[in-house]
Chains A and B, each alone.
Chain A
């Protein structure tokens, strides 16, 4: 019923969108792996970064990809102070407390955006949004090709930061053994906040990559958050290669299920995977446990 070219094209485009999903999931899995918290505010923070990119384009005439350079440090700072001043002190370290505090934060952020920007969807007009790059018989969406490239580079940079810098070493130490790390003089609260900040900064890049081909409204991030959780659980909570491979996989699944089931039922494939993984292999494909 579909020609092989259409199917292949949909899958490749899905794979490339999956790379941006992977970037969102990367932040989430890093935060989980180190702080052992499920960050429900991740989706709302993605919405914030998308609005920041939109503001950069609308009021300062920046290209969305250039805006990333300004939004990333801003999101880094937001993430750092959120963890340091709100999530850390308010939750007092209890698992349930953190879950509820981040849920409360996500509702506050989402509705502040609603109050500030109302529920209209905002888009950025660029001349390359509908641009295509021909690859053999396939036509690839230009923003998605850029998304794939930047996501891969970001993941590589993140790997370098974690493995080749002092703060990366400290982050890995805290993730493995919190008490031991604090005994050798690592400031755990600072490392937690730095990790949260790095995870949030990933969202700034993802926001910039999404904006040319997506719209943003106050609830946009909520649509991504379950997708990101699915990727994190599928790849194994806390596993960075898991998040990358999980992201690509979910992108393909979403493309395939919306091709065969239509747009309204399309998302169901992702949730079913989520439920099945949680039920039968909660450690995921690359889970450490």
Chain B
């Protein structure tokens, strides 16, 4: 069952890759690239918010740290793109560990945790917006240089394929988590943290590991975002839009499931494009649809689309047994 889920997701990624190789119109390819960046961000969010039940409203803090590390290291220090990528992920994870250490030491969870992550992201946004080091309000650009070593390609399909590989790796990471003792502890503390603690789970340590992993993965998405658009500013990198998009995709697709973030990101962004083309250029309508879907999901499908289908299946097999 779980294995089938992983295989399904991998097959989907391979089909996307093949489609791109056969040839896709440029705007569709750009949409797919963006979908995969959001998927990665949401996969990062899912490790903490989905499996651990700690809903963060401030994953922009990690996304932005990745994006800025990628840009500043390459532009101001002339560091190789791949080295910058590794540094970006490490820095993102470090920011995650820092925020996690402070919040979990204070025992924050639920709404309090959501609020404090949001506040941290805002502090970073204001700092990035006013420091010269990060280009201030004008933002920063990455120099255009094509080649594998620069992680920039004149043919954007190669970038897309690399992105697909990262998404697949994140899927394997989630799969490993689901099967490991660490994942079991994490899910146990989501269900009932006091009971988990009473059974001897070191919940502080498990939460710390989860937020570090989650932040690192989301920072990776930030690095790739910067590398794809070659321009960032504080409102893009640390803006609340990305925190919300990550949370939306994971929850709508199915928080705490393997392929939830992928389903959510593809569906939401696809739907967003459809809305945009029907709304005739009125800004904001796509986000209205997102918001309504989120409310409907919480009301009718608390485990997201993935959970909704799992439920249907269970109900159908129960009905078959009864008959």
A binds B: yes
Contact A99 B284 (CB under 8 A): no
Q: Which of B53, B55, B282, B295 contacts A101 (CB 8 A)?
A: B295
Query: Which of A146-154, A162-170, A208-216, A261-269 has 4 or more CB atoms under 8 Å from chain B?
Result: A261-269
Contact A108 B288 (CB under 8 A): yes
Q: Which of B122, B127, B244, B284 contacts A112 (CB 8 A)?
A: B284
| B41 CB to nearest chain A CB (Å) | 17
Task: Say whether chain A's binding surface is mostly helix, strand, loop, or mixed.
Answer: helix
| B219 CB to nearest chain A CB (Å) | 20
B283 partner residues in chain A, CB cutoff 8 A: 114-115, 118-119
The count of chain B contact residues (Cβ–Cβ below 8 Å) is: 44
B294 partner residues in chain A, CB cutoff 8 A: 100-101, 103-104, 107
* Cα of A17 to Cα of B178 in the assembled complex, Å: 51
Contact B298 A111 (CB under 8 A): no
Query: Which of B11-19, B100-108, B310-318 has 4 or more CB atoms under 8 Å from chain A?
Result: B100-108
Q: With A97-B302, A268-B123 in contact, do A108 and B291 touch (Cβ < 8 Å)?
A: yes
Contact B112 A267 (CB under 8 A): no
Q: Which of B55, B127, B279 contacts A99 (CB 8 A)?
A: B55
Nearest-neighbor residue (CB-CB) of B106 within chain A: A279
Q: Which of B111, B129, B284, B298 contacts A104 (CB 8 A)?
A: B298
> Does B151 sit at the interface, judged by CB under 8 A?
no
**Interface hits, A84-113 → B, CB 8 Å:** 86, 89-92, 94-97, 99-101, 103-108, 110-113
Contact B284 A111 (CB under 8 A): yes
**Interface hits, A209-234 → B, CB 8 Å:** 218, 222, 226, 229, 233
Contact B119 A271 (CB under 8 A): yes
Nearest-neighbor residue (CB-CB) of A99 within chain B: B111
Q: Which of A218, A265, A274, A280 contacts B106 (CB 8 A)?
A: A280
* Cα of A233 to Cα of B129 in the assembled complex, Å: 26
Q: Which of A96, A107, A282 contacts B55 (CB 8 A)?
A: A96
Chain A 119-134, CB-CB to B under 8 Å as 1, else 0, gives: 1000000000000000
* Cα of A233 to Cα of B111 in the assembled complex, Å: 12
Max chain A CB contacts within 10 Å: which of B108, B111, B112, B282? B111
**Interface hits, B227-248 → A, CB 8 Å:** 240, 244, 247
Chain B 280-322, CB-CB to A under 8 Å as 1, else 0, gives: 0011110110111011101100100000000000000000000
B114 partner residues in chain A, CB cutoff 8 A: 38, 99
B112 partner residues in chain A, CB cutoff 8 A: 278, 282
Chain A 251-289, CB-CB to B under 8 Å as 1, else 0, gives: 000000000001011011001101100111010000000
Contact A105 B295 (CB under 8 A): yes
B284 partner residues in chain A, CB cutoff 8 A: 110-115, 218
Contact B302 A264 (CB under 8 A): no
Chain A 19-30, CB-CB to B under 8 Å as 1, else 0, gives: 000000000000
A-B contact count (CB 8 A): 128
Contact A100 B115 (CB under 8 A): no
Nearest-neighbor residue (CB-CB) of A225 within chain B: B118
**Interface hits, A54-108 → B, CB 8 Å:** 86, 89-92, 94-97, 99-101, 103-108
| A88 CB to nearest chain B CB (Å) | 11
> Does B126 sit at the interface, judged by CB under 8 A?
yes
* Cα of A30 to Cα of B102 in the assembled complex, Å: 28
B111 partner residues in chain A, CB cutoff 8 A: 38, 95, 99
| B29 CB to nearest chain A CB (Å) | 27
B296 partner residues in chain A, CB cutoff 8 A: 90
A99 partner residues in chain B, CB cutoff 8 A: 55, 110-111, 114
B279 partner residues in chain A, CB cutoff 8 A: 115
Contact A104 B291 (CB under 8 A): yes
* Cα of A275 to Cα of B106 in the assembled complex, Å: 11
Contact A96 B110 (CB under 8 A): yes
**Interface hits, B46-84 → A, CB 8 Å:** 53, 55, 57
Which 8 pairs from chain A and chain B are nearest by CB? A114-B284, A108-B291, A111-B284, A104-B294, A107-B291, A90-B299, A38-B111, A111-B287
For the complex with contacts A104-B294, A108-B291, 18 further pairs of A-B residues with Cβ separation under 8 Å are A38-B111, A86-B295, A89-B299, A95-B111, A105-B295, A107-B287, A108-B287, A110-B284, A111-B285, A119-B283, A265-B126, A267-B126, A268-B126, A271-B119, A278-B106, A279-B102, A279-B103, A282-B108
Q: Please list the residues of chain A having a beta carbon within 8 angstroms of any beta carbon in chain B.
A: 38, 86, 89-92, 94-97, 99-101, 103-108, 110-115, 118-119, 218, 222, 226, 229, 233, 262, 264-265, 267-268, 271-272, 274-275, 278-280, 282
Q: Please list the residues of chain B having a beta carbon within 8 angstroms of any beta carbon in chain A.
A: 53, 55, 57, 102-103, 105-106, 108, 110-112, 114-116, 118-120, 122-123, 126-127, 129-130, 137, 240, 244, 247, 251, 279, 282-285, 287-288, 290-292, 294-296, 298-299, 302
Cβ contacts A to B, 22 pairs, < 8 Å: A38-B115, A90-B295, A96-B55, A100-B298, A104-B292, A107-B244, A107-B287, A107-B291, A108-B295, A111-B287, A111-B291, A114-B284, A115-B283, A115-B288, A222-B240, A226-B118, A233-B115, A265-B130, A267-B122, A268-B126, A278-B116, A280-B106
